[in-house]
Amino acid sequence: MKPIRRIGRDDNPIDRFKNELDNVFQRFFDDPFFWRDNSSRSFSPSLNVEEKADRYVVEAEVPGMDPNEIELEMNGNALTIKGERKRQDSQSDDERNMHVEESSYGSFQRSFTLPDNIDADRIQAESRNGVLYIDVPKDQSRSRRIDIQSRD
């Protein structure tokens, strides 16, 4: 999994250090060496964050999940995605005769910080084919080009 760092060009060194430390811990605990068996692995959606001219687009892979069981929360500039991926069948682990099980289930919470130039009131989300798409518009009123006049 590729670590995600704070989006923006104006990171300060303390934020970069904190994000790098978070990424180290994330990679450490995602290492298969620490999984006792597949049933102890919990689900965590893979994320892609893309910057476009007028918005950021977040894609979260949530296969088999009901969109009504996913929560999105914006707190300041922190976007949090949380929910629970549940097993689809009703059999207990003792009743199942699995030979290979690589699917993961469980509660998850993913948070990351977006830049200051977002319009939080216009964020929209939709789920299509197991992918949650979150459209985060940039606040266009915050940035504008300033012409420089010459007085020569």
For 55-84, write each residue's pLDDT tens digit: 999 999 999 899 999 999 999 889 999 999
Question: Residue 51: pLDDT above 80?
Answer: yes
CATH number at residue 82: 2.60.40.790
pLDDT of residue 38: 44
d(CA 35, CA 50): 31
d(CA 83, CA 100): 25
Domain containing residue 29: 13-86+105-141
Q: Are 88 and 69 in contact (CB under 8 A)?
A: no
pLDDT of residue 98: 74
Evaluate whether residue 97 is within a structural domain: no
- What is the number of domains present in the chain? 1
Evaluate whether residue 26 is within a structural domain: yes
> What confidence tens digit (pLDDT) does each residue in 95-118 have?
777 777 777 888 999 998 888 889
pTM recorded for the entire structure: 0.63
